[in-house]
Amino acid sequence: MREVAEWFAQVTGGHIPPQLAVMLVSMVPLLELRGGMIVARILDLPYWQSVIFCVLGNIIPIPFILLFIKQIFKWMKKFKGLGKIAEFFEKRAMKKSDKFKNGEFVALILFVGIPLPGTGAWMGSLIAALLEMDIKKAVIAELIGLTMAITIMSVLTYLLPGVFTFF
């Protein structure tokens, strides 16, 4: 994770504002808020800006995924290369969906809120959409999870100097 964040910070460093770089990283599946906070720290973004742009970047994809991902995957499957990408994400989401069978609301909060590789709002939205979870319920769970994730990542990247280098 750290290497990807460093690469992104280096590539975008002088070309786009750091706030935009952080927001874009936070929108990328698998990197999401975790990567955004690391990039924000590398780019010396003030803490309050880091939080705002990470959360914004992480929130933007949620409604699109919840509302349109099934139709997007159906369209992608019409094309050989894109179909494999759609199948990859569907299999990955369904593999992780076992945790959601009972107590899907709490499971979604924890899945989004505990910042580990492969978790986060993007994958949480995908799982919620594929399991046809109520959209309002999914959004609320994901916002609570994002609050948890930003708190954890804030501690690891801003309050405990040097900890983020271990990611």
Q: Do 65 and 130 belong together in one domain?
A: yes
What DSSP state is assigned to residue 77? T
Predicted TM-score of the model (pTM): 0.79
pLDDT digits (tens, 9 = 90+) for 90-111: 887 777 666 666 688 998 999 9
Q: Is residue 124 located within the same domain as residue 66?
A: yes
Are residues 19 and 97 located together in one domain of the fold? no
- Is 86 found in the same domain as 19? no
Residues 137 and 89 in one domain: yes
Number of domains in the chain: 2
pLDDT digits (tens, 9 = 90+) for 125-156: 988 998 888 999 999 999 999 999 999 999 88
Question: 123 is in which domain, residue-wise?
Answer: 61-148
Instruction: Give the mean pLDDT of 20-45.
Output: 88
Same domain, 161 and 99: no
Residues 119 and 156 placed together within one structural domain of the fold: no
Tell the residue number behind the tokens 């959209």, with chain if given: 135
